[in-house]
Amino acid sequence: NVNMLKHFIFTDHHWYKDLDIKKIIDSRKQTHADFIITTEKDAVRMRERFSEFLETEPVISAEIQQEILSGDQQLNELLQHIL
């Protein structure tokens, strides 16, 4: 089981700033969280400027997959029409 201790919401395509990373680290330490979870996409975005954060903090990068639960036939028809 995993208990979420703190949740940060950033907009899609967010460019992380030093203050964002500091808040995440401070929150992990204050809550005594064992690790930080981020999406694989955000970890890639962080890698350029914040590689030290990813290497020194216990960061887990979660892969997100999408599955179409309904309407797949209509989507396929639309895509065939467009392509």
Distance CA 71, CA 83 (A): 18
Kindly report, residue by residue over 4-42, the tens digit of the pLDDT: 999 999 998 899 999 999 999 999 999 999 999 999 999
E-strand stretches of the chain: 36-39, 59-62
The pTM (predicted TM-score) of the whole model is 0.76
Q: Rounded to the nearest 5 degrees, what angle is found at the Cα of 32, between the Cα atoms of 28 and 35? A: 55
Q: Three-state DSSP class for 48?
A: coil
